[in-house]
Amino acid sequence: MDADAPLLFFDSGVGGLSVLEPARVLLPNAPIVYVADNAGYPYGGRSEAEIASRVPALLGRLVERFHPRLAIIACNTASTIALDHVRSALDLPVVGTVPAIKPAAELSKSRVIGVLGTQATVRQPYVDNLAAEFAADCTIIRHGSPELVDLAEAKLAGDEVTVDAVRAAAQPMFDALSGDRIDVGVLACTHFPLLREELEAAYPGVEWIDGGPGIARRIAYLTREQPWPADPRGGVMIFTAEPRSPLLGTLARYGIGEVRTL
């Protein structure tokens, strides 16, 4: 394994930064290529057929170009729809992102769990299967919120995002039958941990969890015997369309030192 072979993170936008951040804590010297498919954003409003076709094709091009040691689909929507297609198409390990329903069930005292994601993610059979396997004794209340995805993108771009706006986007989940008993909320979109502060302020009685730390541990495990560069270096962020210019100045804290457009 070439020590300079990068980890390739992939998302429709900036949400995957919530996965990159804990991964960099565990693997500070890992070369990083982060790809935001903002030309296809938002995935949550696209059909399953579009995502199942687009994601493997785009990742195939990216693997040919950057020769990563590992690919991480840092997007719940893309993972729940296209993960098997990607693994069939690529000759390297691929880590997906799935809703953290198992740890939510382990934490919940009320046995009522909220799953907050995109419209595409929350309707997937994959979520049904996770609920049946790990939370059969729980009531699972799902809500797809495209507004929260946009708010997360806006926050990272430096726009003001209020607690009231975040509460309004998430509130239908709590207005559902038994929604007032939710004590654990699953952030089933990688964009949503970027709004954790606002969600905690809006719903102080709810514990919010996401899959980012678990995915980081999985990446570290899969690369545990591989060489890395001796020193950290700035990661590269690739956009598939011209990004919003204010976003470019906010990426340094995630270890991104260069921005390009594919």
Residues labelled catalytic: 75, 189
211, 234 contact by CB (below 8 A): no
Specify the DSSP element, H or E, that contains 85. helix 76-89
Strands ordered across the beta sheet of 7-11: 94-95, 70-73, 7-11, 32-36, 235-239, 256-261
Could you give the C-alpha distances from 171 to 83, 179, 206, 239, 259, in angstroms and in order? 30, 9, 13, 32, 36
Q: Which tokens is 231 given?
A: 């020193």
Closest-CA residue to 54 (of 70, 68, 41, 66): 41
Cis bond before residue 93 (omega within 30° of 0): no
Rounded (5°) CA angle 212-187-256 = 40
Place of tokens 């899959």: 211
Decide: 175 and 262 in contact? Cβ < 8 Å. Answer: no
CB-CB neighbours of 160 under 10 Å: 7
